[in-house]
Amino acid sequence: MSGRTVTIAQVAKHAGVAVSTVSYVLSGKRTISADTRRRVLDSISALGYHPNAGARALASKRSNVIALVLPLRAGMHVPVLMRFASAVVTAARRFDHDVLLLTADEGTQGIRRVAASALVDALVLMDVELDDRRVPLLRELAEPSVLIGFPAEPAGLTCVDLDFAAAGARCVEHLAERGHEEIALLGAASVVYDRGTGFATRTREGFVEALDDHGLKGVALPCEETFDEVYETVRDLLLDRPGLSGLVVHNEAAVSHVLAALRQLGRRVPDDMAVVAICPDDVAERAGPPLTSVLIPAEEVGREAVRLVMEKLEGRTVPDSTLLTPLLAVRAST
């Protein structure tokens, strides 16, 4: 192994070459003969050499670290967040980058700090609000960034997300195909709409528009996340709309409560009430009965965000807006 922290100079000596040669072997920025390369690589593994990140960052002006700015706020469904985060980390590693975790409670301060100190090369922000304080800062930053989600004014930014409007519409379409004529959307908690979080609003718009297109009756309601509130909402909904036979649920935390409430109100799924969820696959599969759902492709979104940010780091131009097409998986609930 190592006697203590091995440097490139020791590798160079061990291999009988210049320091710069070792560097070029590692970066591949100049051609190196196969023979020399082998000797260097052998020395590297013999000594257990790992380049010092600080020195490398200082000399190359690249830290090989990207920041992931998480929200961690009320109304966000955390497991979904984590899947994004995990996807971002995995994707970043594939580009030989690490991920620095920034939480929103440090606010714009933290973003400015890690950018100005060159701790990170680029940023990926999650859970962007329609009117997000962080957005103006991003515009003035030299470091490239990618948003997961869309602010109200996305000009000049790079944004990725599931096409939630299409997702809402897709659910309507599916229920229409199944012959339902009156349906309802149970959406996010009202605080999420109030905050103007884009995905909730866009799903609702897609839902409402599709209602029209297919000539269905229906309504879109916010949906809180305690059992009692969900129960009330569902009960009132059934009372108000006796013809209702289909439900779209876009709220991971409320899914199991909705199902429990229906059960308690004597409605069988799918016989009396068809249910479509917009949620991650595992939530849909784990429910009783397993739910027909439009999955939130967290892995894909995270991967795409990283790909885009890497493209920008290379100086290439990328599309302002990337919308991923929703996919509907039919299960037992419709």
Partner DNA sequence: GCCGGTCGTCGAAGCGCTTCGACACTCTCA
Partner DNA sequence: TGAGAGTGTCGAAGCGCTTCGACGACCGGC
Q: In the chain, which residue ranges form alpha helices assigned H by DSSP?
A: 8-15, 19-27, 34-47, 53-60, 78-94, 107-116, 134-140, 164-177, 190-194, 198-213, 227-240, 252-264, 281-286, 298-313
H/E stretch holding 221: strand 217-221
Residue selected from 46, 59, 101, 152 as contacting DNA according to rule CB under 7 A: 59
Q: How far is the CB of 55 from its own copies (least distance, A)?
A: 5
Residue 13 touches which of its own copies, DNA, none (Cβ within 5-8 Å per kind): none
SS3 state of residue 110 = helix
Buried b / exposed e over 35-73, threshold 16 CB at 10 Å, is ebbebbeebbeebebebeeeebbeeeeebbbbbbbbbeb
Q: Does 199 bind DNA (CB under 7 A)?
A: no
Residue 193 touches which of DNA, its own copies, none (Cβ within 5-8 Å per kind): none
Residue 35 touches which of its own copies, DNA, none (Cβ within 5-8 Å per kind): DNA
Q: Which residues fall within 8 angstroms of residue 2, CB to CB, at 6 or more apart?
A: 47, 48
Residues between 298 and 317 with contacts to its own copies, criterion CB under 8 A: none
Q: How far is the CB of 323 from DNA (least distance, A)?
A: 35
Q: Does 288 bind its own copies (CB under 8 A)?
A: yes
Residue 7 touches which of its own copies, DNA, none (Cβ within 5-8 Å per kind): DNA
Q: Does 225 bind its own copies (CB under 8 A)?
A: yes
Rounded Cα distance between 162 and 167, Å, is 8
Find the part of the chain contacting its own copies (CB under 8 A) among 11-19, 23-31, 97-105, 168-176: 97-105
Nearer to DNA among residue 53 and residue 72 (C-beta):
53
CA dihedral 118, 120, 122, 127 (to 10 degrees): -130
Q: Does 330 bind DNA (CB under 7 A)?
A: no
Q: Does 8 bind DNA (CB under 7 A)?
A: yes
Residue selected from 11, 25, 47, 68 as contacting its own copies according to rule CB under 8 A: 68
Question: Which string of DSSP letters, residue by residue, matches 29-50?
Answer: -S---HHHHHHHHHHHHHHT--
Q: Does 33 bind DNA (CB under 7 A)?
A: yes
Residues between 9 and 28 with contacts to DNA, criterion CB under 7 A: 9, 16-21, 23-24, 26-27
Nearer to DNA among residue 16 and residue 107 (C-beta):
16
- Sole residue written with tokens 């990328």: 318
The CA R_g of the chain, rounded to the nearest whole Å, is 25
Provide φ and ψ at 168, rounded to 5°.
Answer: -60, -45
Task: Let me know: does 67 contact 36? Beta carbons within 8 Å.
Answer: no
DSSP, res 129? B
Q: Does 54 bind its own copies (CB under 8 A)?
A: yes
Binding residues for its own copies, per CB under 8 A?
A: 4-5, 48, 50-58, 63, 65, 68, 70, 72, 78-79, 81-82, 85-86, 89-90, 93, 98-103, 105-106, 110, 113-114, 116-119, 142, 225-228, 231, 253, 256-257, 259-260, 263-264, 285-288
Binding residues for DNA, per CB under 7 A?
A: 5, 7-9, 16-21, 23-24, 26-27, 29-33, 35-37, 49, 51-52, 55-56, 58-60
